[in-house]
Amino acid sequence: MIKVSIATDDGTTISQHFGQALYFKIYAMENGSVISVEMRDKAHHSHNDHSHEQDQGIHPGQLMIESISDCQVLICGGMGMPAYNHALNAGMQVYLTNESNIEAAIKAYQSGKLVSELGLIHHH
């Protein structure tokens, strides 16, 4: 089984910024078919609260990736380089896409046509 995680604010569209998305929509797939879908609250950070980051020395992107550590694939509209690297280090395939519709992105992924646009990595 493969689990595909998609960063989203509303369950319908792909969030343009991984770090600010409210949820992950998780698709569990078996042999290319979707067998279950769940919405998962996403650990997120506010830009005003840096105390948490300094206390533990953990990048917020790492915490977000840990919350989907059971997933093998991550699809989002854009993300910062640290979070992108955390996802890769966690062994995930990361797809950054200009596609905004979740269903369309899942269909593209299933048919092997989803392409990752590395230009969508945000360099802060």
The per-residue pLDDT string of the chain (124 residues; one tens digit each, 9 = 90 and over) reads 999 999 999 999 999 999 899 999 999 999 989 999 999 998 755 554 444 444 467 778 888 899 999 999 999 999 999 999 999 999 999 999 999 999 999 999 999 999 999 999 987 6
Q: Compute φ and ψ for 27, nearest 5 degrees.
A: -105, 120
| pLDDT at res. 123 | 78
pTM, two decimal places: 0.88
Beta-carbon-side half-sphere exposure of residue 105 (alpha carbons within 13 Å): 29
Q: Which of 43, 38, 41 is nearest to 62 (CA)?
A: 43
- What's the domain count of the chain? 1
Q: Which of 27, 3, 13, 1 is nearest to 90 (CA)?
A: 3
What residues contact 121, with CB distance under 8 A and at least 6 apart? 78, 79, 80, 81, 84, 96
Instruction: Identify the domain containing residue 86 by its residue range.
Output: 2-46+54-122
Residue labelled with tokens 């569209």: 13
Q: What is the CATH number of the domain that holds 103?
A: 3.30.420.130
